[in-house]
Amino acid sequence: MIRKISVVFLVIGLGFGSFLGYSIVSSVNAAKALQTQMHSGNISGALQNSQNLSEKYLRIQQLLNAPLVKQVLQISGLDFSNNRGDYQALIKASPLLAGVVNSQRYLVSFQNTAEARGTGGILGAYAIIKIDKGQISVERTGSNASLASLSEIPVPVTNEFMNLYGKNPAILQNSNLSPHLPYGAEIWMGLWKRQTGENLDGVIAVDPTALSYVLDATGPIKVRGRSINQNNLVEETLKTAYKRYEKDNNARKQYLVDIMNATATKLVRGNYSKIKMAKALNKGISEGRILIYSKNKQAESYLSQTKLGSYLRTGLNNEYRVVIQNIDASKLDYYLQRNIEIKQASCEVPRKTTVTVIVKNTLRTGKGLPAYVLTRADKGKPENLITGQHRFKVFIYGPVASSIVSAWRENTLANIGGQSTERLRPVMVMDVDLAPKQSEKLQVNFAGGNGNLTFVDQPLVIPTKLNIKGNC
């Protein structure tokens, strides 16, 4: 009896393996066909092959969802199922993004997450890259010191946007206050247009943590005699460099550019494990540390449904967000810890949901840190300002068409008058000022929401500790 069962499992396993093998081979052939079409400039053929490859990718993902296979993939770090939709969309958009007919030029924004902004952090360094029929070349690199701010926002914005952010996004350092990537991307491209007269086709945003994942695949880089690897890149760029170049901020910014250039050189050469790189990119995409925006409407329609697009979607949802906005111009978000709990009391209509945020300045003391890191450029600083004290705003977003019922700071009821909205979502904005080792508890109660309870994280240096209670 046992032998018969074993034979049955063997037959099933062989059948599964054969079908999976066939699907993978078929997908590889489709990928090769897509690459050929892209290099030849055949847009219709490339688009057709991208749709074909997307369907084959979905089929493989469905096969790999078998419990035992999925467990093995999770252990190996090769489980891409959480990003299935993202990769499908990226495959479909790839001919349009990769300049099959007309070359595409992108601004690559290296976001400094030590100074938090809606999409991650301020634009610290940048590159202008060109993609022509799938071939990448780097045209120019620089730091934010070479980019100018404006007195007016260089692109049309909505009244809602102005009510929430005012003219602040005309300043380069505030250009990506919104977590809705298209807003910041269009402003970045508008600033570039005003400064250089050049049109850009899109934006790619990455942060130091994402680059550290990439270095895990490519191996270390050598910059100014120092070895930079996946273990020290974040600390090197967001902490150590401020101390090392304390008296020469331009040298520090150029150091960041040099690191970005060295990493880009490794990527373009392509001399690395493709499996390791796939794992690295998958991790960066999963955490929202790699973002893409395209001026091409068809490509953007694909990206808008993914983590890569970083959209505040306006369809009915049950999605919550917590966004930190640095307002003192310090680099102290490197030390900021966030504990977030989202608790849904019931699934009755309207749903009642409480978002609790505990923010903590993990600095033991600010003594010894460079003045540039400790900057307090905000207005209304307290007279008894403590070294290392950090001021920021916390934006707590509810779902589309929901409402804010009440809000609390520690155990004190907060004023919810003058509520703001962004893309049909209510936003509670709270001003926080934390000395080293100090924490504060914020709580907002919402009514409304439709569908499954979800949370979209803002990727900063210290990962968010998240606890979701409820299945609505």
CATH of the domain at 257: 3.40.630
Q: Which of 79, 112, 145 is the last residue of a domain?
A: 79
d(CA 117, CA 123): 9
Is 303 within a domain? no
Are 310 and 180 in contact by the 8 Å Cβ rule? The answer is yes
Are 249 and 117 contained in the same domain? yes
Are 323 and 445 contained in the same domain? yes
Is 309 within a domain? no
Cβ neighbours of residue 81 under 8 Å, at least 6 residues apart? Answer: 61, 64, 65, 70, 73
Are 326 and 458 contained in the same domain? yes
Are 175 and 191 in contact by the 8 Å Cβ rule? The answer is yes
* The Cα angle at residue 166 between residues 161 and 171, in degrees rounded to 5: 110
Are 251 and 136 contained in the same domain? yes
pLDDT tens-digit readout, 53-111: 555 555 555 544 545 444 444 545 555 667 777 888 888 888 888 888 789 999 999 99
Are 188 and 249 contained in the same domain? yes
pLDDT for position 87: 80
Are 377 and 243 contained in the same domain? no
> Which among 204, 52, 202, 4 has a CA at the least distance from the CA of 119?
204
pLDDT by 10s per residue, the chain, length 472: 444 333 332 333 333 333 333 333 344 444 445 455 545 565 555 555 556 555 555 555 554 454 544 444 454 555 566 777 788 888 888 888 888 878 999 999 999 999 999 999 999 999 999 999 888 889 999 999 999 999 999 999 999 999 999 999 999 999 999 999 999 999 999 999 999 999 999 999 999 999 999 999 999 999 999 999 999 999 999 999 999 999 999 999 999 999 999 998 888 888 888 888 888 998 999 999 999 999 999 999 999 999 999 999 999 999 999 999 999 999 999 999 999 999 998 888 899 999 999 999 999 999 999 999 999 999 988 989 999 999 999 999 999 999 999 999 998 998 887 679 999 999 999 999 999 999 999 999 999 999 989 999 999 999 999 999 987 6
Count Cα neighbours of 179 within 13 Å in the Cβ-side half-sphere. Answer: 28
Which domain range does residue 60 map to?
Answer: 2-79
Are 323 and 273 contained in the same domain? no
d(CA 385, CA 374): 11
Are 446 and 404 in contact by the 8 Å Cβ rule? The answer is yes
pLDDT tens-digit readout, 177-187: 999 999 999 99
Are 416 and 347 contained in the same domain? yes
> Which among 337, 376, 330, 360 has a CA at the least distance from the CA of 122?
330
Is 86 within a domain? no
Are 344 and 430 contained in the same domain? yes
d(CA 394, CA 187): 22
Is 386 within a domain? yes
d(CA 408, CA 9): 58
d(CA 122, CA 172): 8
Are 171 and 254 contained in the same domain? yes
d(CA 129, CA 459): 24
pLDDT for position 267: 85
pLDDT for position 31: 47
Are 277 and 214 in contact by the 8 Å Cβ rule? The answer is yes
Q: Which of 63, 79, 95 is the last residue of a domain?
A: 79
Q: Which of 247, 263, 294 is the last residue of a domain?
A: 294
Are 251 and 353 contained in the same domain? no
d(CA 314, CA 56): 30
Is 306 within a domain? no
Is 410 within a domain? yes
Torsion, CA 463, CA 464, CA 470, CA 472, rounded to 10: -80
Tokens, residue 235:
């600390």
pLDDT for position 206: 97
In angstroms, what CA-CA distances link 168 with 183, 185, 305, 315, 330? 13, 15, 28, 28, 17
> Which among 437, 470, 350 has a CA at the least distance from the CA of 400?
350
Is 267 within a domain? yes
Total domains in the fold of the chain: 3
Are 59 and 118 contained in the same domain? no
Is 187 within a domain? yes
